[in-house]
Amino acid sequence: MWCVKKERGVLACLFCVCLAWNLAVTATEIPATTASSSASPSVTSAALLETPVWDAARVSLFHQQAIETNQTLIQLETPYRAEDAAIVPITIKAGIPQNPSQYIQRIYLFIDNNPVPLAATFSLTPDSGLADIATRVRINAYTPIRAIAQLNDGQLLMSARYIKASGGCSAPVGKDSAAAEARLGKMRLKIATDGDSKQPLLAQLMISHPNNSGLQLDQISRLYVPARFIKQVQVHFNDKLIMSAETDISISEDPSFRFYVQTQGADGTLTADVIDSTGAKFTTSQVLKLSSP
């Protein structure tokens, strides 16, 4: 099992490599395609998905372990050309249910050409029921984006896409700073309970937080806005860990995470604990009444 903090430190050291690659990507823009903005690129060849950043990162993260490209057991959904590079929706879908004998233990979300390529590491348990994850990210330059799933037996599976977007990490702050500060840390948990409560339930955690990247320029002072972003998320149902995440500056402003929780129809409390890069802690909870009367 790898240490997530160490991983993030190693990948932060790839910053210079990533910037050099960004310049090359900008100078040699991918030719236009007639495909629609939401369609998968018809020319997503292996060459587009090869970058020096990924070559270095896969060794530091996974050593020489084989990574199988598998669009069935792990599927990454993204727009091909993002409408807003600062708010790019991504969805990771798993092709296997979560159960104690076989489950996805960890999902790495990797954006090759972002300043900090490892956008998030999600840790999951069989109590999630399904390993599907959805969030919104910033994209700094045309880039491959990857979801690498590690199963509980150590097997690694990957799904990769190519995204046309740029400038998301340095895009101006979207909200008035005073208003953002007043709402900072406010959270909301939503759970879809209108289906079969013995099946995995879809939950969404929304966090009011500027998630400043440190690369954004204040339009008045012309100084860079200091980085402040969500670093850690933990979600429990009663005393069982459902999902945790280590995140960085690539997650968009006002982070949102969709995931599943398996309650087996039992009553309980879903609790989310969040820590940002300044050490500030936020928590929220939702009581679930699911058992039959």
Q: What is the mean pLDDT of residues 131-146?
A: 98
- pLDDT of 165 > 80? The answer is yes
Indicate the average pLDDT of the chain.
86
Burial class (CB in 10 A: 0-12, 13-18, 19+), 97: middle
pLDDT of residue 175: 66
pLDDT of 207 reads 98
Average pLDDT over residues 121-139: 97
Band (pLDDT 50/70/90 cuts) for residue 94 is very high
Q: Are 237 and 269 in contact (CB under 8 A)?
A: yes
Give the position of tokens 């590690």: 150
The structural domains of the chain, with segments of one domain joined by +, span: 4-30+49-288
Q: DSSP per residue over 169-216, as a string? A: GGPPPSS-HHHHHHHTT-EEEEE--SS-TTSPEEEEEEE----B-S-P
- Model pTM score: 0.84
CB 216 within 8 A of CB 171: yes
Chain position carrying tokens 């149902």:
237
On whether the CB atoms of residues 74 and 158 are closer than 8 A, the answer is yes
Q: pLDDT per residue over 180-239, tens digit each?
A: 888 999 999 999 877 788 899 999 999 999 999 999 988 788 899 999 999 999 999 999
Q: Which residue has the higher pLDDT, 180 or 122?
A: 122
> What's the rounded mean pLDDT across residues 118-126?
97
The pLDDT confidence band at residue 5, using thresholds 50, 70 and 90, is very low
pLDDT above 50: residue 44: yes
The yes or no reply on domain 4-30+49-288 and CATH 2.60.40.10 is yes
Question: 55 falls in which pLDDT band (50, 70, 90)?
Answer: very high
Give the pLDDT confidence score for residue 162 in this predicted structure. 95
pLDDT at residue 37, rounded to an integer: 41
Separation of alpha carbons 253 and 136, rounded Å: 9
Is 90 exceeded by the pLDDT of residue 81? yes
Percent of the residues in the chain that have a pLDDT greater than 70, as a whole number: 83
- pLDDT computed for residue 141 by the predictor: 97
Whether 26 shows a pLDDT value over 60: the answer reads: no
Report the interhelical angle of 52-62 vs 15-27 (nearest 10°): 150
250 to each of 65, 75, 276, how far by Cα in Å?
26, 20, 14
Residue 134's pLDDT is 98
Distance CA 273, CA 275 (A): 7
pLDDT value of position 40 = 45
The pLDDT, as a whole number, for residue 17 is 42
First to last CA, the chain: 43
Torsion of CA 115, 119, 121, 122, to 10 degrees: 170
Amino acid sitting at position 149: A
Span 57-75, pLDDT tens digits: 999 999 999 999 988 899 9
The CA distances from residue 19 to 13, 54, 72, 89, 287, in Å, are: 11, 13, 33, 23, 46
Task: Return the closest-CA partner of residue 139 out of 159, 163, 175.
Answer: 163
**Which runs of consecutive H residues, i.e. helices, occur in the chain?**
4-12, 15-27, 52-62, 177-183
- Mean pLDDT along residues 237-263: 96
Residue 139 vs residues 109, 110, 113, 115, 223: alpha-carbon distances, Å: 12, 11, 8, 10, 22
Distance CA 6, CA 77 (A): 28
Q: Indicate if the pLDDT at residue 137 is higher than 80.
A: yes
Q: Is the pLDDT of residue 260 over 50?
A: yes
